Structure 1
């Protein structure tokens, strides 16, 4: 009898584990993308997308899109989390659709074509729209959209990863990297630091972080601003006076970050640039580009854009189509605002933004983490 009683807890645990596995399998299968509208034929990789709740109390959920590696990459290809910056810009609209993802959107906003340089030829790509309020990610508390910041973004991204790995346990212990561009120059090292701290003392962590990659990254305010101002000035985009005023007001230590005088001169510089895309000086700008610049208020003037200046327009058409959202399992709660490449709210009311990521670099380099900075 004693042995029979001892078996009861084991049976209960087995039942609970089996139920959890079955739930994860169901959630994963319900996230499977059968086919995207306008998708080209002969796609040889699997895709999943949907929501992961990161704060049940506030109803905060982040939207992801997983593009698995092509078979040629092998059965244990690494997992790469891609983050876009802004802050407030979509990893679906930029990273997935303009940069490293498998598809590009045609100008009609109706059809897709394959990107021959997609990173899923070497890795499994996990695109995350972060923080809540960006793209399809949402919160049931509208206050969250006005109080986003670096610290909360890192904590939510970590909660997302922990919960997502329960849904996709095949990626536990897999080599894991974080990558991104622009203001993800903050998101990526901060999340890497958080994972590194959480992994301390764990022999075989489920988030097997090996390193991170950042491109055109916001890294250190002083050097980022100085480089941006010199680029504008040496390319004739701003006047001598504005150049000197920017250096005088934006490169100083200030309790406000950036200071009102700095913001004033950034807006003046934007006005002097006119309808020119500073990231593609030799191509005609899209009419939509000017409105994007104004909406971002000049807070982070180095926000990256692709060389085709109208790609945001194609994405806005495509991802607002009901049949596309249905295929992606997106907007399931009926968000009252349209999908946008960059949020009009998130970023405008950003809560915290350290001046420099260099101390995190120093810490993680000393810890032996692989880091790649590219332009």
Structure 2
């Protein structure tokens, strides 16, 4: 049976695959034609394709027919794939803040894009995220970790049928932050589907996770140790807190007054820090959702307003750009499908059911599957401390193949890495020195070096 005939049969089996897809040659704010291939579109999932998941697909700037295919999930839940594409330096575009002053946001090329070595699908998931929408309801009820994972798995099946030329490419699922809960469920769905002979067969090779949530209570318990290791709390306070709380800093016995007192002292030391990158200022961006002020005014340089520089102000550019009707038209967004685009839809949390408390069990299951896994941490992130991530990895009881050592970029230490194995299974854990919660956003050159080497089976 020819490849073409197989693809046609799969399309019949999976009925209406993609509601729409378009090749985008130009974008408002970018001078000239895009020097890479960008496709946007919707894939219908759920009952009667009621849920329409929006995506950005960028072909590899290397060898798209051979390079890995990556489905990238942003965290939240509710953060658009656009935030990874533009802010986390995983896509080929970024905002040019200097030239955007007193004008609409300007886009420029990102020299550290991961699309130099991979084909990447950036998805707006779950529904209610970014430009994704549902046809018949607006408040997005009944969303959960497992439902989100199931819808994303269905999305990927349909997308691959419609893009059958990528079926043979090595497939990796990637994401960061809260994706650490949902992503392993998707990997399990793909793995089970392949074993059950479901169509289309997916060439799953492994997955990539950055600063991932795995168990929020467990992750939170390591913030005290992180604070101590980073000299945010003194030795005596750390020892007292450890002794009085007995290692439990999240679900504390309300009658344990000594522990509560110590934790109050710890909180006084760290509450005014930016938990996503402890060396950067903590500040709240102005509210431009209800303000009568033109959002463009918020792009004024810090020298013209009395406020410290804050990374969060960079995100205003995406709000202005993505809500521009000419931009939505250029991206072929369904007219009237959303009221307002936001980078991270925090309102999803009002009805979202967090029905998976820990994803560590999934990771343990994968150690018998022969997958390749890359886990990385920005080492200045206090939201998901690197000590929390390294501890659950060690709990998998893998064999240390290459011990903890520095890895280098431009002859300088970029971080540290350790490699584990179990049969054909391989897990690399890497820290990125000086990076925060979405590590490549803070250290783009190091991020590209890391992923390029790992995809190429080259030691970090």
TM-score past 0.5 threshold: yes
Residue 49 of structure 1 aligns with which residue? 40
Q: RCO (CA 8 Å, sep 6+): is it higher in 1 or 2? A: 1
**1:133 lines up with 2:128 in the alignment:** yes
Number of aligned residue pairs: give it: 331
Q: Secondary structure at the match of 1:155?
A: helix
Which has a greater percent of strand? 2
Listed one character per residue, the Cα deviations across residues 305-345 of structure 1 (whole Å, up to 9, x for unaligned) are: xx833222111111111111111112434322x11111132
Aligned 1:308-323 pairs, distance under 5 A = 308-323=311-326
d(CA) in 1 for partners of 2:336, 2:268: 37
Q: Output aligned runs, 1:325-336, within 5 Å.
A: 325-336=328-339
Structure 1 gaps, min length 5: 1-12, 254-261, 293-306
After the TM superposition, which segments of 4 or more aligned residues of structure 1 sit over 6 Å from their partners? Answer: 16-20, 23-28, 237-247, 289-292
User: Structure 1 residue 252: deviation in Å?
Assistant: 6.5
Per the TM alignment, residue 97 of structure 1 is displaced from its structure 2 partner at its CA by 3.6
Say whether the 8 Å CA contact 2:18–2:43 is kept in structure 1. Answer: no
The alignment's C-alpha RMSD in Å is: 3.9
Relative to structure 1, the CA distance from residue 203 to residue 318 in structure 2 (aligned partners, 3 Å threshold; closer, same or farther) is closer
Indicate the larger mover: 96-105 or 316-325: 96-105
The equivalent residue for 2:365 is 363
Equivalence for 1:303: none
CA distance in 2, matches of 1:167, 1:83: 20
Distance 1:369 1:151 in 2: 22
What residue in structure 1 maps to residue 26 of structure 2? Answer: 35
Q: Is the 8 A contact 2:65 2:166 kept in 1?
A: no
Once residues 88 and 352 of structure 2 are traced to their aligned partners in structure 1, the CA distance between those partners, rounded to angstroms, is 25
- Pick one of 304, 323, 327 that aligns with 1:324: 327
The alpha-carbon distance between structure 1 residues 226 and 272, as it changes in their structure 2 partners (threshold 3 A), is closer
Go from structure 1 to structure 2 and tell me whether the alpha carbon gap of 1:43 and 1:201 turns closer, same or farther (over 3 Å shift): same
1:156: how far off? 0.2
Give the TM-score taking structure 1 as reference length: 0.75
How much does 1:106 deviate?
Answer: 2.6
Q: Counterparts in 2 of 1:80-99, with a 5 A limit?
A: 80-99=70-89
Alignment counterpart, residue 209 of structure 1, candidates 204, 211, 222: 204
Determine whether 1:186 maps to 2:181: yes
Structure 1 residues 282, 64: closer, same or farther in 2, change over 3 A?
same
Q: Please state whether the residue corresponding to 1:66 is helix, strand or coil.
A: strand
Aligned mate of 1:282, from 279, 303, 311: 279
Contact persistence 2:285–2:313 (CA under 8 A): yes
Once the two structures are TM-superposed, the CA of residue 161 in structure 1 deviates from its matched residue by: 0.9
Q: Which moved more, 1:353-362 or 1:277-286?
A: 277-286
